[in-house]
Amino acid sequence: MSGRISLGLVGARGYVGAELIKLVATHPRFELAFVSSRERDGLRLAEHEPAYTGELRYSNLDAAAAAGQGADALVLALPNGMAAGFVAALDAAGANPVVVDLSADYRFDAAWHYGLPELTRVRAAGARRISNPGCYATAMQLAVAPMRDALAGPVQCFGVSGYSGAGTSASDKNNPDKLRDNLMPYSLVGHVHEREVTRQLGHPVEFMPHVAPHFRGITLTANLHLARAFSRDEVQQRYQAAYAGEPLVQVVDEAPWVSRIAGRHGAEVGGFTLSADGRRLVVVSTLDNLLKGAATQALQNLNLAFGLPETMGIPT
């Protein structure tokens, strides 16, 4: 396939939408066909997103109008529970663009491809309905997946995210004044990402999320009980083998720091620490929740869907 590929974005005002606009604006093949935002309807995109230099303006498109735009790809960057109307409108119109949904709405739907490329790209061929993984869920799976066959008992994951993960709608979880000098626990049992990772790994995961005062980036500490004793070298070799050749996942020796990953498009996994008996392993992963946790991963999935190099347009 040659030529430009048109892409529509619904939910363009949010943090993730803004990051995706930056990536698409410099992509060699994708071009923005429309960006939909109720709050910015009629405003020039370039006035809000300097990376974009064209004349496109925000529009306020309902589901039927978005389906009728004829874009080659549609990205839904909407809050949970809002994607179904747009998908139904596409079906009603007989339109079949590549759809990437950034919400949790289709992560449990077997008819949709679950797009965490480093772990699922072997099943990506031909996928036109793609569910983008959650940001925490991406960090958890990258931390745990190389040891999946050696797990004994549930995995415990302690996660800390910057407050951009709470979105742009005002709440305690994205209020810098309330978060200052604080760490806010929430949804400590049954978080959607806990269920998502349990489903994807086929192994129970217990997840305890927190919000911190920094703006972006996730630190995820995973506690793994192992079925047999491992040495640190053996563990490290597993991770290096699992992510060999992965440009967006770096295996590091020391526990990674979130400040080092903020604004970058990949993830770091490391800090491998074993108990004295070698049967308990702690692993730390970090990523930018807006990038590898959302927009960058969406672009990986779009590239794969159109047969392009997976990291095309992604700074590495």
Assess whether pLDDT exceeds 80 at residue 245. Answer: yes
The 10s digit of each residue's pLDDT in 141-155 is 999 999 999 999 999
Q: What is the pLDDT of residues 272-292, one digit of tens each?
A: 999 999 999 999 999 999 999
State the Rg of the chain over Cα: 20
**Residue at 311 is within a domain:** no
Over 90: is that where the pLDDT of 309 sits?
Answer: yes
pLDDT for residue 179: 75
| Statement to judge: residues 179 and 282 lie in one domain | yes
Is 312 a member of any domain?
no
Residue 176: its pLDDT value, please?
75
- Looking at the structure, tell me whether residues 213 and 78 fall in a common domain: no
Confidence label for 194 from pLDDT (cuts 50, 70 and 90): very high
Instruction: Reply yes or no on whether 135 is catalytic.
Output: yes
Tens-place pLDDT, residues 153-173: 999 999 999 988 666 555 666
Are the beta carbons of 309 and 303 closer than 8 angstroms? Answer: yes
Q: What element of type H or E holds 273?
A: strand 267-274
Higher model confidence: residue 179 or residue 225?
225
CA distances from 32 to 28, 65, 144, 151, 165 (A): 12, 16, 36, 44, 25
Half-sphere exposure of residue 175: CA atoms within 13 angstroms, side-chain side: 7
- pLDDT for residue 2: 67
- Confirm whether 310 is domain-assigned: no
Active-site residue among 67, 78, 135, 155?
Answer: 135
Q: Is residue 161 part of a domain?
A: yes
Q: Residue 9: pLDDT band by 50, 70, 90 thresholds? A: very high
Same-domain pairing of 205 and 285: yes
Residues 88 and 147 in one domain: no
CA distance 223 to 158: 8
Indicate the pTM of the whole model. 0.95
Nearest by Cα to 206 from 223, 219, 218 = 223
Total number of domains constituting the chain = 2
149 and 235 belong to one structural domain: yes
Q: Give me the CATH number covering residue 190.
A: 3.30.360.10
Range of the domain at 186: 135-289
**pLDDT of 265 higher than 90:** yes
Strands 184-185 and 58-59: unpaired
Residues 275 and 140 placed together within one structural domain of the fold: yes
In a domain, 210, yes or no: yes
How high is the pLDDT of residue 167?
63
| Predicted confidence (pLDDT) at residue 83 exceeds the cutoff of 80 | yes
Give the pLDDT confidence score for residue 168 in this predicted structure.
56
Residue 314 lies in a domain: no
We report the CATH number of the domain holding residue 14 as: 3.40.50.720
pLDDT beyond 80 at 177: no
pLDDT average, residue stretch 289-309: 97
Do residues 246 and 147 share a domain? yes
Residue 91 has pLDDT above 80, yes or no: yes
Q: Note whether residue 258 is domain-resident.
A: yes
Residues 115 and 203 in one domain: no
Co-location of 268 and 168 in the same domain: yes
Mean pLDDT of 206-210: 97
- 183 falls within a domain: yes
For residues 158 and 267, membership in a common domain is answered with: yes
Residues 92 and 213 in one domain: no
* pLDDT tens column, 58-69: 999 999 999 999
Q: Could you tell me if 261 and 159 lie in one domain?
A: yes
83-95 mean pLDDT: 96
- Does residue 1 surpass a pLDDT of 60? no
* Contact by Cβ (8 Å): 148, 211: no
* pLDDT above 90: residue 21: yes
pLDDT at 12: 79
% of the chain residues with pLDDT over 70: 96
